[in-house]
């Protein structure tokens, strides 16, 4: 590892950036340097602009673009202490798209499509609690509290701890899984001893289960988190509670699910349906006036 990379990592650690953010930022700066075949401390704003424009031409996701922009901004402003204003590295406006939502029947089919009990329990846990994949693989056996019927999520996104519900049905599923696999530390251990399962394994198994049962929607583990929130909303759970369960910083993020709930959409009466009712009500309320000649008084 070069001294420059180590300095950047130390800068991120001092600011307590998450491990995922650190890994992403390091990958961006490494790719940036590789493109120009020079050390990044020998490159400048024009190179950054060219690199970001190439990302646009490659049509990468705007979220990927903004991660690259943030990584380079951190590297030059913090690690190299170059006095760049944020406006010199343009931040793209990401389009707001509604998430894909599975119906309850589709969730049942997806869970049934998991061949191995470990995969089925992982996907069930995401849907039953709304945890993110990174939070799922970070769960330990001791995080399951059957006395209080809660699961503790350590250092979720934004480095915040929270509790989520542990349903009776999920507890039964987890006990069945524990009797077969006997995990002692990580709830879902990986192939390497002492390491949790990799997130990509969860994604691969989730997609395989979706294909197996013929789901045509694009399905990822995060789709189950969206389904968790949407189905809670349809069951009448208030947004503040859903916000706390999901670990959202802002209620505006949680409010997204009010736009994607099919039940909420179908149960809301269109004002068009009330037009005839309003006309009939008006006609009944205004009796004929024999003195009315149609003029304007």
Show which residues are catalytic: 132, 157, 222, 225, 248, 257
Residues 80 and 216: their CA atoms lie apart, in Å, by 48
Residues 231 and 127: their CA atoms lie apart, in Å, by 10
**Cα radius of gyration (the chain):** 26
The angle at the Cα of 203, spanning 115 to 117, to the nearest 5 degrees, equals 25
Residues 167/228, Cβ–Cβ less than 8 Å: no
**Running DSSP on this structure, what letter comes out for residue 170?**
H
DSSP of 179-224: HHH--SSBSSB-SSTT-BPPHHHHHHHHHHHHHHTT--S---HHHH
- 3-class SS of residue 107: helix
Residues 236 and 130: their CA atoms lie apart, in Å, by 16
Q: How far is CA 294 from CA 74, 147, 297, in A?
A: 74, 77, 9
Residues 60/53, Cβ–Cβ less than 8 Å: no
Residues 248 and 252: their CA atoms lie apart, in Å, by 9
């Amino acid at each position: 590892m070069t001294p420059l990379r180590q300095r950047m990592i130390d800068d991120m650690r001092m600011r307590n950036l998450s491990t995922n953010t650190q890994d992403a930022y390091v990958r961006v700066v490494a790719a940036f340097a590789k493109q120009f075949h020079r050390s990044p401390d020998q490159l400048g704003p024009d190179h950054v602009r060219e690199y970001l424009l190439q990302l646009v031409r490659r049509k990468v996701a705007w979220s990927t673009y903004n991660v690259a922009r943030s990584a380079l901004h951190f590297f030059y402003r913090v690690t190299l202490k170059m006095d760049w204003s944020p406006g010199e590295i343009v931040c793209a406006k990401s389009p707001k798209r509604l998430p894909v939502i599975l119906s309850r029947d589709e969730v049942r089919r997806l869970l049934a499509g998991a061949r191995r009990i470990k995969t089925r329990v992982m996907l069930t846990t995401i849907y039953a609690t709304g945890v993110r994949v990174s939070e799922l693989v970070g769960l330990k056996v001791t995080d399951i509290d059957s006395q209080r019927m809660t699961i503790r999520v350590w250092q979720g996104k934004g480095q915040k701890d929270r509790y989520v519900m542990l349903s009776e049905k999920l507890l039964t599923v987890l006990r069945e899984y524990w009797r077969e696999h006997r995990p002692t530390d990580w709830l879902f251990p990986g192939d390497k001893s002492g390491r949790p399962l990799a997130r990509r394994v969860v994604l691969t198994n989730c997609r395989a289960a979706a294909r197996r049962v013929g789901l045509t929607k694009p399905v990822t583990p995060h789709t189950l988190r969206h389904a968790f929130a949407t189905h809670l909303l349809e069951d009448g759970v208030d947004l503040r509670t859903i916000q706390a369960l999901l670990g959202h910083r802002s209620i505006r993020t949680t409010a997204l699910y009010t736009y994607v709930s099919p039940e909420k959409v179908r149960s809301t009466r269109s004002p068009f349906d009330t037009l005839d009712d309003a006309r009939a009500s008006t006609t009944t309320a205004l009796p004929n006036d024999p003195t009315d000649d149609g003029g304007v008084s």
